[in-house]
Amino acid sequence: MGSALAQLPPTLVSDWVSGAGSIQRYDATTGQYLGTFGAGFVSGPLGIAYGPNGDVLVASYSSDRITRFDAVTGQYKGQFGTGFFSNAEGLAMGPDNLVYVASNGTNNVVRFDPVTGQYKGTLGAGFVNGPAGVRFGPDGTLYVMSFSGGNVTRFVPQTGQYKGQFGAGFLSSPWDAEFGADGYLHVTSVGGPHVMRFNAATGQYAGVYGTGFVNGAVGITQAPNQMMNVGSLDFGWVTRLQTNGKYEGYYGWTFLQSPYFLQAAPMARGNIDLQDWVGDTTLITATIEIRKPGTTTPIRTLTTQLTSSGNFTIPATLNGTFDIGIKATHWLRKTLTNVFIPSSGRVGLNVSLINGDCDGDNTVTVFDYDLLSTAFDSNLGDPGYDPNADLDGDKSVTVFDYDILSTNFDLSGDN
């Protein structure tokens, strides 16, 4: 994994206390308590999600509204949804950049624009019974936990088309779910002291884990280290479990009372093929821009060192659909369009970058030739050596670097 893991956003936990409550922050690596936000603005806080602009959205069961907070400072930024649902529970960002809210009291799911708060319709009526958690799969399918119905129901979010259900006979009051690094959907049940795995595409049961370590299993989120963090309602803490069931400890005891929902920072993972490079890949810094689709203005810009095999991992702290621009020092930018980042994060952001951009302006031109010519015949440690002209990374600026630049001359990267 890339070095971006050194500074991770905290894991967020909704803590409902006597009809009020707050959102608690915990260190994503150690579980150390980092404080709270939202007290006085949320009433019976349950579902948590990152919005498409970096806000945190919180569903309030008791006051039937969605409240926005700044993801870094916790500052209150407004609310919406009052009058459109009853007893809001889970919520999640969809691939259409709308937020989907489980309305337990009306047995449906309600959609809103998370930025403007505009109502965008409902789905699921007649198919869900006591909806609690809502999650999206990597393919954009919506999964709704029917607390009273004892199953998980699938929908096409944009149309509301029903796509079947599963879990009946296995689940007892299903509450929340998350996709794991193993590809399975991991489902919690308030009535069960464990977590169950299902093949989300087929609905086939794939085993259980966590027995004895969770009790009254509620919220679940995949941490940056790809462990499952599970809220235990009866224990009043969050348990860490490997997806193979191995117990890795707990956190939040003495601070939490009712850890109903959790949200860790969604991680984006991928691989960068650095064309014509024979040097040390771990010395290369990649700049990754997460953008509103169809624009070149970044919502978030992150830098990360690559691993020896070119892999990277960054904390997105955004949910929804985005364009993602990826550039490394003297390589041209590649932009991936309409990439959906669900709550569980995104894998497979793989690109191959064209070499030759010595001056970093995203084009290979005579200006790059000038830089290479100035550094020509120099070696690492020489006064005139320029690492951005050493295109192949062999610690010398030679005719091999000229060949790379000549081959890619007049090419430009994506916007």
Q: Where are the chain's structural domains?
A: 10-265, 268-407
For 54, 137, 233, 260, the CA distances from 25, given in Å and listed in that order, are 16, 25, 17, 14
The CA distance from 364 to 357, in Å, is 5
CB 212 within 8 A of CB 193: yes
DSSP output for 69-94: EETTT--EEEEE-TTS-SSEEEEEE-
- The alpha-carbon radius of gyration of the chain (Å, integer) is 24
For 17, 28, 218, 400, the CA distances from 392, given in Å and listed in that order, are 59, 37, 52, 8
Give the pLDDT of residue 130: 97
Give the pLDDT of residue 195: 97
For the stretch 360-396, pLDDT in tens is: 999 999 999 999 999 999 999 999 999 999 999 999 9
CB 336 within 8 A of CB 324: yes
Give the pLDDT of residue 1: 37
For the stretch 58-85, pLDDT in tens is: 999 999 999 999 999 999 999 999 999 9
Could you give the dihedral angle defined by the CA atoms of residues 318, 330, 284 and 304, in that order, rounded to the nearest 10 degrees? -10
For 83, 170, 200, 305, 331, the CA distances from 313, given in Å and listed in that order, are 40, 35, 25, 9, 19
Give the pLDDT of residue 7: 63
pLDDT(4) > 70: no
Give the pLDDT of residue 54: 85
CATH topology of domain 10-265: Neuraminidase (2.120.10)
The maximal CA–CA distance of the chain, rounded, in angstroms, is 74
For 149, 151, 292, the CA distances from 169, given in Å and listed in that order, are 10, 8, 42
Q: In what order do the strands lie in the sheet with 217-222?
A: 217-222, 228-232, 237-241, 247-251
For 212, 217, 333, 415, the CA distances from 234, given in Å and listed in that order, are 12, 8, 50, 51
Q: What is the CATH number of domain 268-407?
A: 2.60.40.4130
For the stretch 104-149, pLDDT in tens is: 999 999 999 999 999 999 999 999 999 999 999 999 999 999 999 9
For the stretch 224-268, pLDDT in tens is: 999 999 999 999 999 999 998 999 999 999 999 999 999 999 999
Quick one: which of 121, 149, 154 has its CA closest to 139? Answer: 154
The CA distance from 304 to 287, in Å, is 7
What band does 192 get if pLDDT is binned at 50, 70 and 90?
Answer: confident
Quick one: which of 282, 333, 336 has its CA closest to 309? Answer: 282
Handedness of CA 250, 251, 255, 257 (dihedral sign): negative
Give the pLDDT of residue 275: 98
The pLDDT of 206-233, averaged and rounded, is: 95
What band does 19 get if pLDDT is binned at 50, 70 and 90?
Answer: low
Give the pLDDT of residue 18: 63
Structure tokens at 187: 């489902």
Give the pLDDT of residue 328: 98
